[in-house]
Chain A
Amino acid sequence: MVFLLLFMIFLPFIFAILTPFLYKLFAPRVHTGWFVAIVPLSVFVLLLQYIPVISNGQTIYQSVPWIPSLGVNITAYLDGLSLIFGLLISGVGFLVVLYSIYYMSKEREALHNFYVYMLLFMGAMFGLVFSDNILVLYVFWELTSISSFLLIAYWYQRKNSRYGAQKSMLITIFGGLAMLSGLIMLSMMSDSYNIREILSEVHVVTESPLFLPAMILLLLGAFTKSAQFPFSIWLPDAMEAPTPISAYLHSATMVKAGIYLVARFTAVFGGSSEWFWIVSGVGLITLVYGSINAVNQKDLKALLAYSTISQLGLIMSLLGLGSASLYFGNGDESTVYAMAIIASMFHLINHSTFKGSLFMVIGIIDHETGTRDIRKLGGLMSLMPISFTLTIIGSFAMAGLPPFNGFLSKEMFFTSILTAVEQPVFGMKMFGLFVPIIAWIASVFTFIYCMILVFKTFTGKHQPEKIDKVAKEAPIGMLIPPAILAILVIGIFFFPNVVGKNFLQPALMAILPIHSEGVGLTIKAWHGWNTELFMTIGVVLFGSIMYIFLKRWTVLYHFFPKTLTLNHLYNQSLEGTEMMSYKVTNKYMTGKMRDYLVYIFGFMIVILGGALWLSDGITFLGSNQAGVSIYEGVLLGAMVISGFAVLLSKSRLTAIIALGALGYLVSLFFVIFRAPDLALTQLVVETVTSALFLLCFYHLPKLRKEVSRIQFKLTNAVISIGVGTVVTLLALAVNNHRLFASISNFFEQSYTLAGAKNIVNAILVDFRGFDTMLEILVLCIAGLGVYTLIKLQLAGRDRKE
């Protein structure tokens, strides 16, 4: 029983392995979803049992080692925050699976893929919210990105699905990697991987110079995952996924992973003005951006996607405002700001309920009429009465109207915003007045798109000729899950304090540890004639007027240039990066060996020469110099002459002969420097290579046989002179910096040790025989190489002809 919670995290993964077998055994007789539904239901039931424990302020911690030497453990840490998320994931998960049983055809769809991806996602989400270890949290975080990618592209034959999946993958993985570096910085600062230990080291973290970079990187991860501005563009494209997935991932769970992250690390970073402004600022911008864009959508799912963006912005801004509570410490002002955190968690729960049900209803409409385009829909009220009722409940809750739960959390949002103005913090005095106005405008737009959602779909004239199917009410099984959520929407309105006591208070304790005793909290539907209520009335009035004259002013959207949209920017930058790397690669990868040699030698000059220069290694004549005899002088002169002859000769034959002369002169050098073995070998080898050169010369193709001097090119001259200079300098430097005595004394004992008077031979066959052995192997391979090249080339040519 001890590790039950941990087992629950891994239950979806275990079941994901079993699912294909179940599918093979029972499809198409039994819908695979019935088996899958067991998983979220059992987790949900288990988590329900923990509610009393958690609401008493206790927490549960379970851990098994994964990589103990690195301090990485798989943990299950249950507190108020993770309990809310766990219940949402398992509860909405169960309803979505139930819904998908009726939504996904068991004959036509590849259900085993669908449910495996979904279980992977579910398990990853559990792991994400229960992990106390930040590295394990990151592992699950990426697993949600990957399974979401798989789910968006579930209908992989469609181009739009693939586009949407790629987009969400690129953006969320980008954020995930940023988050990883943020987490690593965090662990460097606090010297721990465990969130709870990091929390106890907060004072160290706050004073560290890495504080700000870690915060920004972490927020990048949270903002990309939770579709905050400007990373929100992936969410509308993720609507290509099957509707149960949109309902589950892109409204209730995955997009809230970023919210979870921000909430979880508020205790670490909160209380600083940067966190306050970034989180609440980005949240407010997202709120306005999402709500304004949602009004202009023609596709119901896209409308819901933008409304999700907007609502996530609302929750995020509340979390940002609430973080100021940490700045005040334990006091009255602190409690006032802490209410913002409670509001955010409350709205998070509410949003999951009404948005999940709305997505399911939209799925029903799509399923029963064959379209989601609001221009084709209309007059469905009498045809689909239950769906209509559910849509009204969901939409009015989203718009923030009584008697639905959205009203309560929206009022709390206004309250928090107004408090922030009344008790300014972090320079709120300057911009304070704008914040409620922005929030109010966003609420008006929210109201408008909610009305569009209800009235454009269900009222007006029914147009049967525009839709593919005969519209009728959905089967009962499809209606039950959204109905359950709708009942919750109303239930929370009438009994908000049940939620408040059991979930919101423990969550507040988890997010802001300074409020370990909780705050006196009662959520009231009626709170007197105050500013918040007037704001809501204003929203309704203004929203209704604007909705009535919708056609008049939506033309304004057309004036907004397409080139300035974020999607355009994303596509352009993607294309631009591809084009640029293509161009750059083509620029330097010329395919010409000469250019590559220029790079190689260029680097050699820069690095070797640079190292010599920087380390002050350049010396010309040291004490190690021997005298120069006349023979050496004459030989050197001859070699220089034949070297230039190679370079300047007009015909290739002259060059070959000059090269041969150079070789023989080298062997003469060996004679002078008393190396008879080398001289002998050099003589023979030089003869052989000259003969081979002549052979090559003889077989040059007649057509392009050119007798001309090597063309002069400045780059080549510079490079070759540079390499010559650098190597000469290097040789001189090495000669003048002898640090150790030579070991050649040892080899002088060759007669006593190896029985050989010829030291060179003794070294070759005895002292260093290993080298010789491999050298003759090299020789042998070269010989076989020549043999195969010639013989096999002939065979190949025959075959081609």
Chain B
Amino acid sequence: MSPNDVLLRTVTKAAIVIILTFSIYLFFGGHHNPGGGFIGGLSVAAGLVLLFLAFDIETVRKNIPIDFKKMAGFGVLIAVLTGVSSLFFGEPFLNQTFGHFHLPIFGETELATAVLFDVGVALAVIGTAITIILSISEGK
């Protein structure tokens, strides 16, 4: 890293907010528009990579103290659990359901268990991507 990268770091600080927001939008929009867990997860990972590039790995780790390997495993676990939970209602494995509810702030909103599954997908994707990138960069 060059010693004087103030410009990069400042731009990163601004950009990361936009990237993460966009990622979350992609994630939640996935149900009705292009997007979803996979793309949302990948773009979150891209944002994190930008952080790694602008700051060094140790700093990022200190600020985001997450073990990404666990995150990947956790994602798979959520996905499996959403599948298992449908068994409790006497439905086949991985049976998804949805409904329209009236929530205080959002008004009339559609809630779907598929989104929970997608959360698992997104976490697995983020965890895996960051694990790969971190281990390669640390390995060399």
Contacts and interface: CB of A to CB of B under 8 A. Distances in A.
Contacts of A757: 31-33
A770 B43 CA distance: 24
B117 A780 contact: no
Contacts of A772: 79, 117, 121
B125 to A, nearest CB: 7
Interface in B98-140: 98-99, 110, 112, 114, 117-118, 120-121, 124-125, 127-129, 131-132, 135-136, 138-140
B36 A684 contact: no
Contact of B31 (A692, A761, A770): A761
Interface stretch (B12-20, B58-66, B68-76): B68-76
Interface string A772-784: 1100110110111
Contacts of A677: 34-36, 39
B32 A765 contact: no
Nearest to B114: A765
A755 B110 contact: yes
B138 to A, nearest CB: 8
Contact of A695 (B32, B43, B69, B136): B136
Contacts of A607: none
Contact of A680 (B32, B39, B128, B132): B39
Contacts of B35: 677, 680, 758, 761
A699 interface: yes
A657 interface: no
Contact of A684 (B30, B43, B75): B43
A570 B132 CA distance: 60
Given A773-B79, A776-B79, A787-B69, A688 B129 contact: yes
Given A755-B112, A766-B114, A773 B127 contact: no
Contacts of B138: 790
Given A755-B110, A773-B80, A776-B79, A783 B69 contact: yes
Contacts, number: 132
A681 B42 contact: yes
A538 interface: no
Contact of B75 (A776, A787, A790, A794): A776
Main secondary structure of the interface of A (DSSP, over half): helix
Contacts of B98: 754-756
A513 interface: no
B80 A783 contact: no
Interface in A748-773: 754-758, 760-762, 764-766, 769-770, 772-773
B51 interface: no
Given A754-B112, A754-B114, A787 B31 contact: no
B96 interface: yes
Contact of B30 (A761, A769, A773, A790): A761
Interface string A488-515: 0000000000000000000000000000
A154 to B, nearest CB: 60
A562 interface: no
Contact of B131 (A680, A761, A766, A786): A786
Nearest to A788: B135
Nearest to B72: A780
A677 B27 CA distance: 12
A770 B136 CA distance: 30
Interface string A781-801: 011101100110010000000
A794 B140 CA distance: 10
Contact of A779 (B46, B93, B118, B124): B124
Contact of B140 (A699, A760, A769, A782): A699
Given A765-B114, A769-B94, A773-B94, A794 B139 contact: yes
A684 B73 CA distance: 22
Contacts of A769: 83, 94, 96, 114, 117
B33 A758 contact: yes
B88 to A, nearest CB: 17
A758 B75 contact: no
A784 to B, nearest CB: 7
Contacts of B93: 770
Contacts of B37: 765
Contacts of B132: 782-783, 786-787
B34 A783 contact: no
B36 to A, nearest CB: 5
A433 interface: no
A149 B21 CA distance: 79
B94 A756 contact: no
A786 B32 CA distance: 34
A331 interface: no
B25 to A, nearest CB: 12
A783 B128 contact: yes
Contacts of B42: 681, 684-685, 688
Contacts of A756: 31-32, 98, 112, 114
B117 A765 contact: yes
A676 interface: yes
A783 B96 contact: no
Contact of B76 (A680, A688, A777): A777
A791 B36 contact: no
Nearest first, the 10 A-B pairs at minimum CB distance are A755-B98, A783-B128, A676-B34, A790-B139, A757-B32, A776-B124, A783-B131, A765-B114, A766-B96, A684-B42
Interface of B: 26, 30-39, 42-43, 46, 69, 72-73, 75-76, 79-80, 83, 93-94, 96, 98-99, 110, 112, 114, 117-118, 120-121, 124-125, 127-129, 131-132, 135-136, 138-140
Interface of A: 676-677, 680-681, 684-685, 688, 692, 695, 699, 754-758, 760-762, 764-766, 769-770, 772-773, 776-777, 779-780, 782-784, 786-787, 790-791, 794
Given A684-B43, A765-B117, A783-B132, 19 more contacts: A676-B34, A677-B36, A685-B42, A699-B140, A755-B31, A755-B114, A756-B112, A758-B33, A761-B36, A761-B114, A765-B118, A772-B79, A773-B79, A773-B83, A776-B76, A780-B127, A784-B69, A787-B135, A791-B135
